[in-house]
A and B are shown apart, each in its own frame.
Chain A
Amino acid sequence: MRLYAAVAVSAFKRYATYRIATVAGVFTNTVFGFILAYTYTALWDERPHLGGYDLSQALTFVWLGQALLAATAVMGGGVQEELQERIRSGDIAVDLYRPVDLQLWWLAGDLGRALFQLLGRGVVPLTLGALAFRLTLPASPLTWLWFLLSVTLGVCVGFAVRYLVALAAFWLFDVAGLSMLSGLLCLFFSGMILPLHVFPGRLGEVARALPWSAILQVPADVFLEEHRGAGLLWAFGFQAAWAVVLLAAGRLLQSVATRKVVVQGG
């Protein structure tokens, strides 16, 4: 356990060294936040209370999305790229030799990365958004706590998906195409482009049941206090269930893959 904590801390520190990249990222998130906020305003002006959100909640959703974009690694990257590269180059053989659990090791690193991105690239855009627009911030301090728990579960689900994609490198060698497709699906079905409540009819129902909704839609709804009491428990249960299922699938695929590894030059 101490080992995995150390891995998380070192990942946090590693990302913290990219200061200019962090500032650049905050800038980009803020620019996109403004563009999306204007389009949502136009949309909600036409249809107030679309998807059960009022304008202020919709705008909050925009800025939450920008604040969580890097932390949840919606567009892929982070752990995924590194792991893929290690599989492609064969360095993975060294990792498999180590007396640690491969999946937990990468999960710990990803959680450390996510924590830094949440602080480094989340706080400033959300604050700027709250200054420029009228946002719906949680009334109860407890909601902030539930939100953080929900984000953590969301990061775990996101990690589980990216881990599966990275493992595909054992078979595909060049996973760039698959990573891209996975990033796009995540972008669309997490609600990052448009809240899933706005998706019409059956498409909306399906989108809200898919694992990606645990990455942004559920944490955002927790933040907006759309889930209360038993509903809150249900939301956490939904996220946790997807995390467990996908992490288990990752383990299964990993054990199949490692039986397949051929170490060259050894």
Chain B
Amino acid sequence: MWVRSTMAYRTSFLLMTLGNFAATGLDFVAIALMFSHIGSLGGFTLPEVALLYGTTSTAFGLADLLLGTMERIGRRVRDGTMDTLLVRPVPILAQVAADRFALRRLGRISQGALLLGWALVRLDIDWTLDRVLLMPVMLLSGGVIFGSVFVLGGAFQFWAADASEVQNSVTYGGNTLLQYPPTIFAKELLRGVTFVIPLAFVNWLPALHILGRPDPLGLPGWIGFGAPLVAAGCCAPAGLAWRAGLRAYRSTGS
């Protein structure tokens, strides 16, 4: 239904898809502009950065396509429209995901995938079997990790209705962080996104293995294969928080 309704305003739909395409695109243009002055950033070449960029954009795009509407939970709590979801005999999470489901978000995924393709063509990777396998595993688990953050953020909004920005700092902020080589960030920050909020498993750790580069924290190469486990591990707290949030929800008014 939401797909058809967005199609009703064709100009807007086209501009939105284009906008989503450009949104990630302009970020990369900025990186390309940086590389017009330098040969490598933190020891990484432009195609290598493009690989990091493409993988995180695709993973983030997948999560955003399915769960990007979590941002709107706060608004629903404030204006009381959350109630309409509660009375329907369909899981709330599925309803929120489908609410304003926007195909235009495909723009972000296609742009990420395009850059990823370009990076793979330009890079001379030694394609062993484990590296080939790691590629789709990385994108899917990355999507799940970002998705968990979206759900966690959505759940948080049951308590703090207008705090969706905090979620942005992890989702959009994490996406921006992962576009750059891990070597340029401070060790404490790297530890934080490896062990506390495991964003490093979205692309850094698997991608380092694919590129045959050592991890700046000295973690072993096979750790990238832990991504699906970490992703599964992220779902648990997100799911629990979501249920707790729903239970804590008291409608507006009397």
The interface of chain A, by Cβ under 8 A from chain B, is: 18, 20-21, 23-25, 27-28, 31-32, 34-36, 38-39, 41-43, 46-47, 50, 172-178, 180-181, 184, 187-188, 193-194, 198-200
Of residues 8 to 22 in B, which have CB atoms within 8 Å of A's CB atoms? Answer: 9, 11-16, 18-20, 22
Contact B162 A18 (CB under 8 A): yes
Q: Are A20 and B189 in contact (CB-based, < 8 A)?
A: no
Residue pair A24, B12 in contact (C-beta under 8 Å): no
Q: Are A181 and B18 neighbours in the complex by a CB distance under 8 Å?
A: yes
- Cα A31 to Cα B26 with chains together (Å): 20
Instruction: List the 4 shortest-distance A-B pairs measured between CB atoms, nearest first.
Output: A177-B15, A24-B165, A42-B184, A180-B19
| Complex CA distance for A188 and B26, rounded to whole angstroms | 7
Count of CB-CB pairs between chains A and B under 8 Å: 111
Q: Decide if A174 touches B12 in the complex (CB within 8 Å).
A: yes
Q: Is the CB of B26 within 8 A of A42?
A: no
* B3 proximal to A (CB < 8 A): no
Between-chain CB contacts (< 8 Å), 18 pairs: A20-B160, A20-B162, A20-B163, A23-B163, A31-B173, A42-B184, A43-B38, A46-B37, A47-B37, A176-B16, A177-B13, A177-B104, A181-B19, A181-B22, A184-B22, A188-B30, A194-B33, A200-B37
Q: Please indicate the chain B residues that have their CB under 8 angstroms from the CB of A178 in the complex.
A: 12, 15
| Among candidates A24, A38, A181, residue contacting B164 with C-beta atoms closer than 8 Å | A24
Contact B15 A34 (CB under 8 A): no
- Residues A24 and B33 in contact in the complex (CB < 8 Å), given A38-B185, A39-B180, A46-B41: no
B23 and A42: CB pair below 8 A? no
User: How many residues belonging to B are interface residues under a CB distance threshold of 8 Å?
Assistant: 43
B window 24-61: CB within 8 A of A: 26-27, 29-30, 33-34, 36-42
Q: Which residue of A lies closest to B178 (CB)?
A: A35
Q: How many whole Å from B245's CB to the nearest CB in chain A?
A: 16
B162 & A173 in contact (Cβ 8 Å cutoff): no
The answer to whether B184 and A177 touch across the interface, beta carbons within 8 angstroms, is no
Q: Which residues of chain B come closer than 8 Å to A38, judged between CB atoms?
A: 180, 184-186, 189
> Is the C-beta of B177 less than 8 angstroms from some C-beta in chain A?
yes
Inter-chain CA distance A32–B166, complex, in Å, is 11
Chain A residue with Cβ nearest B36: A200
Of listed B13, B38, B104, B160, residue having the most chain A CB within 10 A: B38
Whether a CB of chain A sits under 8 angstroms from the CB of B251 is no
Chain B residues closer than 8 Å to A28, beta-carbon distance? 165-166, 168-169, 173
**Interface assignment of B176: CB less than 8 Å from any CB of chain A:** yes
- Whether A43 and B16, one on each chain, are in contact in the complex, defined by CB atoms closer than 8 angstroms, is no
Most buried by B among A41, A43, A177, A194: A177
Residue of B nearest to A21 (CB): B162
- Tell me if B23 and A50 are in contact (CB < 8 A): no
Contact of A24 with B163 in the complex, beta carbons under 8 Å: yes
Bound CA–CA A28/B168 (angstroms) = 7
Beyond A31-B169, A187-B26, A188-B30, list 10 extra A-B contacts (CB 8 Å): A24-B162, A24-B165, A32-B173, A35-B176, A36-B176, A43-B38, A174-B12, A181-B19, A193-B26, A194-B34
Query: Which B151-199 residues have a C-beta within 8 angstroms of A?
Result: 160-166, 168-169, 173, 176-177, 180, 184-186, 189
A27 touches B169 (CB 8 A): yes
Across-interface contacts of B18 in A (CB, < 8 A): 177, 181
Q: Which residue of A lies closest to B19 (CB)?
A: A180
**Given B11, B26, B166, B189, which contacts A24 in the complex, CB threshold below 8 Å?**
B166
**B14–A194 touching, CB < 8 Å:** no
CA distance A176 to B102 in the complex (A): 12
Instruction: State whether A46 and B33 are in contact (beta carbons under 8 Å apart), knowing that A174-B9, A175-B12, A184-B22 are contacts in the complex.
Output: no
Residues of B within 8 A of A175 (CB): 12
CB <8 Å contact, A43 and B41: yes
Q: Which residues of B contact A24 (CB under 8 A)?
A: 160, 162-166
Instruction: Please indicate the chain B residues that have their CB under 8 angstroms from the CB of A200 in the complex.
Output: 33, 36-37
